[in-house]
Amino acid sequence: MSSHFFDGSSAKRYEITPEVWQEGISFSTERGDLAWRYEDLIRLWDYRPSDHLAFTHRKHQDSRLIIEEPELVKAIGQHAPDLLNRKKEGLRAARVAGVLAVGVITVVAAIYFLVPPITDTLARIVPWSFEVEERPELAALEKFLGKRCTAGRPNEILKSLTDQLLSVSDFPHPILIDVLDNKMSNAFALPGGRIVVMRGLIRNARSPNELSAVLAHEIGHVVNRDLTERWMRNSAIGAIATLLFGTGPTSLGDTLFQNSLSLSFSRSDEEAADRYSVHLLNQLDLDPSGGAAFFERLSRSGGLGETLPDYLNTHPESEGRADYFRERGTGTKQALSPADWLILKQICVKSS
């Protein structure tokens, strides 16, 4: 009987003469000398014959160390009895896993509470020119989302409405708002103060104050520098996930870790943008019931966001958002006259 070793990178079997010492096992191969500490060994209990010892290393789990000499097996049992006792070895592994789990939970908790305020502070001091440089060209968006709606008078009305909102925002940089000929009822902010509104949102809105609430919400994302913050936040979370889960191919744990934190942080951005929207509406004395009606209708539509549990959804639950607009809004006026609202709804009609 003789002990042997497989390095895991080839099928070659290395015949070895191990030395058993108080801290671990050392041996030599033609590729060099190795010293494995007992605390790094994982016993392979299914190896046969059972009176031999088979180990792998925690950091090199493709390798195999087989100890066959009875005197060496006995010596290892004297120095590391847990490696010969399956029950104790299981408890040792459980302790190690428990310590690792506590460590990961501690790190995740620290990220959850520390990353948002840090990235929020950094995002607000990044020069505005940084975002402007990252602002996508409208032509690139038109290729995927539809052509810009260019009807003259409706665009003038939209600009006037936007200027009203911006006049009470105290935001020193220009914000561009364009409508694209797309049936989706959606709007979103992009880096550098560009806001895109889909034709479907205007067509489906039932009052100018619904549109005003959505525009004010997207302006809130721009003012709060959410695009820059989100980029910083995701970069930080990605770097930490790499440290926790390794630099290899993305694992399920890596993906869930990053997504769960990103989703949670995104909800706080949405809530802040809602607060900003209500603030602008109140400053202009605009009736908040438009915003409430929009989110109530979104809730009744039963979209994907409403079917997900709140903790898996990037947006707060729509019914709660409707309540927020209704409870916190103080205005009474409509943003546009009925005539101007009818004209604005024709913004993607070429004859306008």
Q: What is the pLDDT of residue 52?
A: 85
Q: CA nearest 175: which of 124, 223, 139? A: 223
- Alpha-carbon gap, residue 160 to 167, rounded angstroms: 10
Question: In the chain, which stretches have pLDDT less than 70?
Answer: 1, 86-97, 99, 104, 107-113, 115-116, 237, 240-241, 243-265, 301-318, 351-352
Backbone angles phi, psi at 213, to 5 degrees: -65, -40
pTM of the model: 0.63
Residues of the chain with CATH 2.30.29: 4-84
| Sheet containing 187-190, strands listed edge to edge, beginning at the edge strand earlier in sequence | 176-180, 194-198, 187-190
Tell me if 4 sits within 8 A of 66, measured CB to CB: yes
Q: What confidence score (pLDDT) does residue 312 get?
A: 33
Count of alpha carbons within 13 angstroms of residue 346, beta-carbon side = 13
Output the furthest CA–CA distance in the chain (Å, rounded).
98
pLDDT at 212: 96
Burial of 282 (0-12, 13-18, 19+ CB in 10 A): middle
Q: Report the pLDDT value the prediction gives residue 232, as an integer from 0 to 100.
A: 79
pLDDT given for residue 130 in this prediction: 84
Cα separation, 329 vs 326, whole angstroms: 6
Give the contacts of 343 (CB within 8 A, at least 6 positions apart).
153, 154, 157, 352
* Residue whose entry in the numeric block shows the structure tokens 């100890």: 67
Q: Are 76 and 67 in contact (CB under 8 A)?
A: yes
pLDDT of residue 93: 61
What pLDDT was estimated at residue 60?
86
Which pLDDT value is given to residue 305? 42
| The pLDDT value given to residue 92 | 60
**To which residue do tokens 């709140």 refer?**
310
Say what the pLDDT of residue 198 is: 93
Q: What is the pLDDT of residue 122?
A: 76
Q: CA–CA separation, 327 vs 329, rounded Å?
A: 6
Backbone phi, psi, residue 156, to 5°: -65, -40
User: What was the pLDDT predicted at 261?
Assistant: 45
**CATH topology for the 4-84 domain:** PH-domain like (2.30.29)
Give the model's pLDDT for residue 135.
85
232 Cβ contact partners less than 8 Å away, ≥ 6 residues apart: 119, 122, 123
pLDDT at 290: 87
